[in-house]
Amino acid sequence: QVQLQESGPGLVKPSETLSLTCTVSGASINTNYWTWIRQPPGKGLDWIGYIYDTVNIDSNPSLKSRVTMSLDTSKNQFSLNLISVTAADTAVYYCARRGLPGGFDYWGQGSLVIVSS
Amino acid sequence: QSALTQPPSASGSPGQSVTISCTGTSSDVGAYNYVSWYQQHPGKAPTLMIYEVNKRPSGVPDRFSGSKSGNTASLTVSGLQAEDEADYYCSSHAGSSKFVFGTGTKVTVL
């Protein structure tokens, strides 16, 4: 059974970098599109971006200048870095697998990140 | 890329049907058959209910069905049950492996 688990700091100061890691079990990180999605408190879902391998990476145009993503195949993990955060980046961050055509079939439980001094 | 438009709320009595619309543009919903739908209960991660417009993942009841016409996709929940009360989000491929989500619809079972 495929499982995803987000990990990282729950509190980040404004202007600093938000860093999250998603650990995958039950599937190889070398296949499928691995995705980050966020949800501000009380609001809807926002697609952040995906990573397929070290070359195929893309992100939401609204976040592109601040987002980097990477894979660690030795640990079966993928990561998200979001630089220069503001309060508007406060959200529950989900990692997910796009394992079906256009469908995110497995999700992590979500990690709440609050941006505050 | 702008969020897809969904009605904020929808409701129905147990046993009835409810249909949720998801309106995009000719660059996302209208261009691709990669529309999916997600159910989210409070405090939980979303769950995939429909992918590729009208396909159900294993384990999703056939009470859930999807369709698309032009730039608008729809999710229909037939035979409403209490556990169907949740938020529902649509999503569409928007070109170059990018995706966009809908604004979300809260479904209430009366």
3-state secondary structure of A56: coil
Q: Which of A2, A4, A33, A45 to mutate to test the interface with B (most CBs of B within 10 A)?
A: A45
Of chain B, the end-to-end C-alpha distance in Å amounts to 35
Q: How close A63 gets to chain B, by Cα (Å)?
A: 11
Contact call for A45 and B38, based on CB within 8 A: yes
Contact call for B57 and A107, based on CB within 8 A: no
Q: Is the backbone of residue A10 left (phi > 0), alpha (psi -120 to 50) or beta?
A: alpha
For residues A75-85, give the mean pLDDT: 97
The model's pLDDT over B23-60, given as tens digits with 9 standing for 90+, comes to: 999 999 999 999 999 999 999 999 999 999 999 999 99
| Residues of chain B neighbouring A99 (CB-CB closer than 8 A) | none
Question: Per-residue confidence at A116, pLDDT binned at 50, 70, 90?
Answer: very high
What pLDDT shows up at residue A99? Answer: 87
The model's pLDDT over A5-59, given as tens digits with 9 standing for 90+, comes to: 999 999 999 999 999 999 999 999 988 899 999 999 999 999 999 999 878 889 9
Could you tell me the two tokens for A115?
A: 């941006």
Give the closest of B52, B103, B104 to A101, CB-based. B52
